[in-house]
């Protein structure tokens, strides 16, 4: 029996121009933060949704400064980013009521970094039962909520913060 998994929304990505520019630096140059799912910005960093999430509500805290090494961040930038990770957790708790979180970063490709030239923290909300047999049987992850719906749910909470 032939098996099919339909994901028609992927065609936009497949047909898109694959730029070699930094995805995070390019995101900051866009005119419409909502279109690229930026939830929050301040002078040192921003919070953006992962468009290829591990789970619904998967956020990333990213320094504005293009830097590949954690130790190259200045102290005020590092503190600001940690505060954004904490803020993101607080907001995700209010908006989505997760039961836990995976928080982390991958430095260099060998450690699993998909974007290795611009460091960023992943903030991934987790719920009991949010994993199932799909990744095991078909190497496919099921995301329960559309990214735009999640963005619209989180954005008012981030709007209440001072940037």
User: DSSP labels for 86-117?
Assistant: HHHHHHHHHHH--SEEEEE---SGGGT-SS-S
Given CA atoms 83, 56, 108, 112 in this order, what sign does their dihedral have?
Answer: positive
Phi, psi of 41 (to 5 degrees): -140, 145
Residue 124: which residues within 8 A CB-CB, separation 6 or more? 53, 54, 55, 57, 58, 59, 101, 102, 103
118 is a catalytic site residue: no
DSSP readout, 3-19?
A: -----TTHHHHHHS---
- Asked whether the beta carbons of 115 and 22 are under 8 A apart, the reply is yes
Kindly name the residue from 58, 120, 122, 146 that is annotated as catalytic.
120
Residue count (the chain)? 163
Residues involved in catalysis:
120
């Amino acid at each position: 029996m032939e098996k099919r998994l339909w994901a028609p929304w992927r065609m936009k990505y497949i047909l898109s121009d694959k730029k070699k520019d930094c995805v995070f630096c390019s995101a900051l140059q866009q005119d419409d933060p909502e279109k690229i799912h930026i939830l929050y910005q301040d002078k040192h960093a921003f919070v953006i949704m992962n468009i290829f999430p591990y789970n619904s509500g998967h956020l990333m805290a990213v320094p504005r400064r293009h830097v590949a090494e954690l130790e190259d961040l200045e102290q005020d930038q590092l503190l600001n980013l940690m505060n954004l990770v904490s803020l993101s957790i607080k907001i995700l708790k209010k908006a989505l009521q997760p039961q836990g979180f995976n928080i982390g970063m991958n430095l260099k490709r060998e450690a699993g970094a998909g974007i290795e030239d611009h460091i960023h923290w992943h903030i991934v909300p987790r719920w009991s039962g949010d994993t199932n047999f799909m990744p095991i049987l078909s190497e496919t992850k099921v995301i329960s909520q559309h990214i735009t719906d999640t963005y619209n749910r989180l954005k008012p909470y981030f709007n209440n913060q001072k940037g």
